[in-house]
Chain A
Amino acid sequence: MEYIETIIVKYLTGTITDTENDVLQQWLSSSAEHRKLFEQICNDTTLVARYRSYAAIDEVAAKRRFLARVYPQKLHTFVRRTWRYAALLIPAVLLSLYVYMNREVEPAPEFTLTEVQPGESQAVLKLDNGFEMSLDSTSKSIQFDESVTAEMMSGTITYMPRATKSTIEYNTISVPRGGEFRLTLSDGTRVHLNAESSLRFPVVFTGGERKVQLTGEAYFEVVPNSSSQFIVEVAGTRVRQYGTVFNINAYDGRPEVVLVSGSIGVTTATAGAEVRLAPGQRAFCDDKIMVTDVDVASYIGWTKGRFTFDNRRLDEIADILTRWYDTPIEIDDKSVAEMRFTGSVSRSATIHHIMNAISYAQGVEVAVVGDKIKIYK
């Protein structure tokens, strides 16, 4: 006999069978209280919001915390092992003691970690004539002229060409810290812009090339068109696509291009010949172009609403979190900055989830000091 809870779940998800529905109806008709409860559940408008907060909870980090608590002997080995190295640290301890004695009083925390909200859909649209418009999640329609309109809805903007044009007009969409934005260009190509990034593109593509300029990070799903190449120019690097999905991260001026599917070619001013990437490869563009095989998931996790870190340094992670949460994070200790963290956490949660995960996994402390977050031993 199945539990009534499961039958209700089946009803809610529209997967109930006729026999189960009979059971449900019988259960409903057996008592007025059953009916009342059932109606409450069916009309619960907070269900999805409740799911979102459920999904933001990191049960893997919690499990690790539990294991650390019930298996303290593991910690003992850690302490014993660490003790051997502790002697080496005495000068450092003396130094920090000195610093501590001479410290200025630490500023009081101005917020708590649970108050640091994640980024949201927001951007600024700049037209050729200098006119600026702020974009958010509201719906509106932007009329440029008879040749093109743009439709905005829930954090995306879609350019819809109506007629061809001879003069090329450019738009720039800039996303601030704590933001992200999606757009569909006039050829149907989709671009997801991450925080602190911008894209300059022609309102309507014309001629034999579709060329856009990027700063920061973006994820591209390019609509193939054999008569018009799609080219991304980013920090002195050109990414030319051949019908493709890829991610470009150029926050530090050295573009990192990861190919998800299709085929792209990468050139830089200094590297000379074009380097072709196969899906699952990453090109790191410095003076030379270096190609390695990577796990694509950790590079595009952000487009799916997650932070996915695969053996990333804490100082790099701090930069990424600062851009999304628009809150400075400081790591003074070099050994902490160089620690490596692996894990995946929802981007829609407040910052304390990821901070907890890092703190438990690496055994570091996280605290709010004044207007910033500090990670330390």
Chain B
Amino acid sequence: MKDSEHIIQAINRGDIEAFKQVYALYYSVLVTYANSILADSEDMGEDIVQDVIANIWEAKTQFASYSSFKTYLYNAVRNAALNHIKHQGAADKYIEYLQYEYTPFDYSGVNVEEIYRQLFALIDHLPYRCREIFLLHMEGKRNEEIARVLQLSVETVKTQKKRAMAYIRANIDKSLLYE
């Protein structure tokens, strides 16, 4: 059995360790997702995600597979965020627009939030200097520019970029589950 199915079984059993793992893996990205929907009332994102996860625990929600668990998380957070906006008296048209705009599963069947999650978890675990260099690289900065901004040699920038990519290669398949 795959690790991902182990964690689902543990969640179904109500194993607290599995829930701790959910925090490490999903909490931050779900809050970012909620906040992107909430826009103005940003400090609600954390509360919404807390409620969603605690509700799984309290209601002893069961999941058939890892992917149904993921779908549930993103959908539940999205719906809770939309509800929050509705309660604040937003116009129906606006809610409709948000519902369309923030479907976690794109019409193409791709979960964009899941891309962010994997990408961010990988970046987050790079050593500090390596990470700053890689972020500038992702912003489209050239090696020379990065070297100037961070006061490093171009050689150092190149080595650190290589290190970042080697780390990502080594860990990306694990990042599906573990941080």
Contact = CB atoms under 8 A, between A and B. Distances in A.
Contacts of A99: none
Contacts, number: 126
Interface in A110-128: 114
Interface residues of B, number: 50
B168 A65 contact: no
B96 interface: no
B165 A15 contact: yes
Contacts of B169: 15
- The bracket for how many chain A residues form the interface is 35 or more
Given A66-B50, A158-B151, A304 B35 contact: no
A21 to B, nearest CB: 14
Contact of A15 (B35, B49, B138, B168): B168
B135 A10 contact: no
Contacts of A67: 16, 20
Nearest to B148: A153
A184 B152 CA distance: 12
A200 interface: no
Contact of A5 (B50, B107, B110): B110
Given A6-B176, A48-B139, A70 B123 contact: no
Interface string B136-179: 00110000000011010000000000001100110011001000
6 contacts: A6-B172, A13-B138, A31-B108, A62-B49, A153-B148, A158-B151
Instruction: Name the 4 nearest CB pairs between A and B, nearest first.
Output: A63-B23, A59-B27, A57-B28, A33-B108
Interface of B: 16, 19-20, 23-24, 27-29, 31-32, 35-36, 42-43, 46, 49-50, 53-54, 57-58, 106-108, 110-112, 114-116, 118-120, 122-124, 128, 135, 138-139, 148-149, 151, 164-165, 168-169, 172-173, 176
